[in-house]
Amino acid sequence: MKQLICIVCPKGCHLSVDEEKDFAVSGNSCKRGETYGKMEIKDPQRIVTSTVAVTGSVYVRCPVKTDKTISKRLMFEAMKTLDRITVPAPIRLGQIIVKNVCNTGANFIATRDIR
């Protein structure tokens, strides 16, 4: 039995996930907590944040993040793709920097304007 704290909403329910009983979740106060508990044990997902190199600006780096969660096991591979990227300014907030990161369907997007 694994113990988790749900991070889907501000309640922070204390979840228990029983791996021997088909990932049965208890302690949740909503359906989203059950979904989170099962996913966190089977295949944890995270938003990845980082920066990419920038040319043509006073800023040398631009902050980026994935536009949806990706499997935690792919995080380092996703970060490696950013090591090879240099983006010319100007960059717009929400601009796609890398499409389909690690074939997940998620994109790295800029999280600020760079002039």
Q: What is the pLDDT of residue 114?
A: 98
Residue 74 confidence class, pLDDT cut points 50, 70, 90: very high
Residue 54 host element (H or E): strand 49-55
Q: What is the pLDDT of residue 10?
A: 93
Contact 93, 112 (CB under 8 A): yes
Contact 101, 70 (CB under 8 A): yes
How many secondary structure helices (H) and strands (E) does the chain include? 2, 10
- Region 46-70: mean pLDDT is 97
pTM of the predicted model as reported, rounded to 2 decimal places = 0.85
Contact 79, 102 (CB under 8 A): no
- What domains, with CATH codes, occur in the chain? 2-42 (no CATH), 49-110 (3.10.530.10)
Residue 29 confidence class, pLDDT cut points 50, 70, 90: very high
